[in-house]
Amino acid sequence: MPLRKLGEPRPASGYGSSGDQRACPDSLSQNLDTSSPLSASSYIRDPSAASSTLASSTDDSLPARYVASMDVGALQKRIKELEEQLSKAVAITRSSDSASGQSTATAVNETYLAHIHSKHESRLFGSSHIINRGVMHKNRLYGQSHWGSGIAHVAIDILELIEPHVRIESSKIFTGMERCKAFGRIIKWQRAPPWPTPPTTDLPSRDVADKLIDGYLRTIETVHRILHVPTFRKDYEAIWAADSTPDTGFLIQVKLVLAIGSTVYDEQFSFRPSALKWVYQAQTWISEPEFKAQLSLQYLQTCILLILARESTSIGEDFTWITTGALIRAAVYMGLHRDPVHLPKRTPFGAEMRRRLWNTILEISLHSSMLSGGPPLMSLTSFDTDPPGNFDDEQLMTENPVPKPGHEFSHTTIARALRRTWEIRLAIAKFLNDLTSTGTYDEALRLDREFRAFYKELSRTLHTTNLKSDCSRSQFTMNYLDFIMQRYLMSIHIPFLGPDFHTTTYAFSRRVVIDTSLRLWTAIYPISTLQTAQSDSNRIPKAQSDLARLTMCGNGFLRTTAFQASLLLAGELLMQLKEDEGLGPATLRPDLLAVLKESKDWSFECIQAGETNIKGYLLSCLLAAYLDGLMRGLRKDELPGLLIKAAEDAEIRCSAILEQMAAHSQSGSNLNAPLPLSPDSLVDPMSEWDYMISDDQFNFGSMDPMNWLLDDEQLRRMF
């Protein structure tokens, strides 16, 4: 039966001819409708009482003239048939609940209702289990691909244990959180440029600028083709000429490239203040009203770079899905969704640049959908533009370039490889976030099979490609590509995790999530505890270093996915402890325990790199302490003290770093603005916080895990 939209009339149930439901009252047909979010057992808990209720309901609902036309025997027979149907519906639902451990309605703690509304539907159509889970948090609806939709169950036990203690404003954990929050506000105030920030011609020194440019070109540009590198380098060289007056539009592109490249310059993100200023300048320039009439390929390039730079510098990165919608419409308005062969004749250079940009826009659309949990903004029927040709950039500068054979590596090899998997990845995004998605487990397994087939063929093709380019750059692109693909594979199965799905039916999904999470984690934290013991050196290849720095210093989907993977692995450790039935101490997987320790170190390194939000580190410390307490066999009433001590220690450590950071940044921007209150005076117990959005506020009035994980401050004034 197709899903019925809210507010639409209920379709005929088929009990009467021509849709006539007089023989089955609407209240009963609603109970028997297994497509309803709440099945029959949710309405009638006592089947023995159903008979009298059913008979009474039927007699009251039938018109008198209809009852008069029926003899008593026929009426009793009809009631008996309906009772049997109801009994079968109840039996099926109970059997499903017993087999899968899945309740038909997820209970929500009443203390959380003012802050979050969760939707978790479970229904049976034949043998196919349907899951439709989403999170409505304040004024935003997160789909299943959003990182917060599948991990709340990991933290809820911990937060419920410490909730009574952190409500006490005089407690050390409360004041420690507030102190860290205050330092975070001061640091962000010191860093934030004024708004608007008109573009200027100032640039860092030539030596530094060259390194930042190379940082971008050897990473993001190798995967997402945005610029024609020879042309960009030529115009970039002209900027440094003594008598040059650079074009403002190109200068903005240079500054966005510098901002993205600064995330891999060093492990401290030492150019963060400059990167913020460059992004603000770009946003100011692109927001000018008269710029609307200047639609061009350069405009699209700048829009794409701005989206990527906002993610890298944590400037409204969680809202790039909204910006992507405007980017797509601008590209369609310029005809990039049509292949150049259908448009007036263009040069090979112009045609290929249009294909490259459209290909990147397709990637950005999927990327933003998965990051925000919003539905994809594209479909297969909305464009006919071919993938970019297998050209090196230098080839496009000739009059009649000939594409390289498919087995030869080119500057578009990775972009073309991603395009071959775009259709299946679009299907995954729709499965997770579309309103009309069926969400069945059978569908998830089908997507898993198809995705693996695509990825296997893709891997075979890339491994047989003749890698003539720089080895380090090629290795980065392969690592980055694998990270993207593993993320999609993991996302298929995350909706089937949690306490309701720990049965053999979903064992495959559980294993896939563990395997992909480990693979994602080792990609961004390549020196694991186990690997270090087997290695003579802590040095890692530059390609892996770039990916690790992009994750630690930048933001967006890389850090989000890494954090999500570490939490999912911590959740697996918790589940292993709960499932252990041995008499001796529980034996947990050492590789998962290593990740738990590494996630603490990594989260703290993010703070050392300039992150003002301590929530990721704090949650990692709480999870480690909670697991340690469970492994030691502590009673439930002994766990809160252990957790509070871990939280206090984490806050002390973070407070020292943030205080140093605030002192170091004191000579920054906004010197004429009023200084915020001192850290000790900034106490706002109703403030809220978010790990992945740049906000370190805390909410002590509600210990709802979604408030811990999802809350954010209002958009910065520039957006």
pLDDT in tens, 494-531: 999 877 777 789 999 999 999 999 999 999 997 654 44
Q: Average pLDDT of the chain? A: 78
HSE (CB half, 13 Å, CA atoms) of 505? 21
Q: Output Rg (C-alpha) for the chain, integer angstroms.
A: 29
Given a cut of 70, is residue 126 above it in pLDDT?
no
Are β-strands 116-125 and 140-142 bridged in parallel, bridged antiparallel, or unpaired? unpaired
Provide the residue type at 591 as one letter. D
Confidence (pLDDT) at 90: 46
- The least confident of 180-194, 578-592, 638-652 is 578-592
From residue 451, give the alpha-carbon distance in Å to each of 367, 446, 457: 17, 8, 10
DSSP secondary structure code for residue 149 in this structure? G
Q: Which two tokens stand for residue 582?
A: 């041995």
CB 92 within 8 A of CB 493: no
Backbone dihedral region of 633: left (phi > 0), alpha (psi from -120 to 50 degrees) or beta?
left
Name, in order, each residue with C-beta under 8 angstroms of 403's C-beta and a sequence gap of 6 or more: 389, 390, 391, 395, 410
The DSSP element (H or E) to which 661 belongs, if any, is helix 639-664
Residue with tokens 């829009």: 303
CB 229 within 8 A of CB 221: yes
- Tell me how far apart the alpha carbons of residues 544 and 563 are, in angstroms, rounded to a whole number: 18
**Local structure of 489: helix, strand or coil:** helix
Report residue 540's pLDDT band, with 50, 70 and 90 as the boundaries.
low
pTM: 0.78
Name, in order, each residue with C-beta under 8 angstroms of 466's C-beta and a sequence gap of 6 or more: 407, 408, 409
Confidence (pLDDT) at 716: 32
Residue with tokens 């999609």: 488
Phi–psi pair at 140, nearest 5 degrees = -135, 145
- Tell me how far apart the alpha carbons of residues 376 and 429 are, in angstroms, rounded to a whole number: 7
Peptide bond between residue 340 and the one before it cis (omega within 30 degrees of 0): no
- The least confident of 128-142, 144-158, 541-555 is 128-142
CB 53 within 8 A of CB 44: yes
The DSSP element (H or E) to which 174 belongs, if any, is helix 172-191
Confidence (pLDDT) at 697: 31
- The least confident of 103-117, 261-275, 353-367 is 103-117
Q: Which two tokens stand for residue 274?
A: 């400059």
Name, in order, each residue with C-beta under 8 angstroms of 71's C-beta and a sequence gap of 6 or more: none
C-alpha torsion sign, points 557, 563, 564, 569: positive
Given a cut of 90, is residue 679 above it in pLDDT?
no
DSSP secondary structure code for residue 117 in this structure? E
Provide the residue type at 680 as one letter. D
CB 184 within 8 A of CB 658: yes
Check residues 69 and 167 and name the one with the higher pLDDT: 167
CB 575 within 8 A of CB 508: no
Residue with tokens 């995705």: 451
**Local structure of 120: helix, strand or coil:** strand
Q: What would the mean pLDDT of 302-317 be, rounded to a whole number?
A: 94
C-alpha torsion sign, points 492, 497, 501, 505: positive
C-alpha torsion sign, points 288, 290, 292, 298: negative
Report residue 664's pLDDT band, with 50, 70 and 90 as the boundaries.
confident
Q: Which two tokens stand for residue 52?
A: 């009298």
Q: What would the mean pLDDT of 243-268 be, rounded to a whole number?
A: 95
Check residues 665 and 551 and name the one with the higher pLDDT: 551
- Tell me how far apart the alpha carbons of residues 350 and 135 are, in angstroms, rounded to a whole number: 44
HSE (CB half, 13 Å, CA atoms) of 129? 24
Phi–psi pair at 374, nearest 5 degrees = -90, 160
Name, in order, each residue with C-beta under 8 angstroms of 280's C-beta and a sequence gap of 6 or more: 193, 195, 196, 197, 315, 718
Neighbours of 187 (CB within 10 A): 23
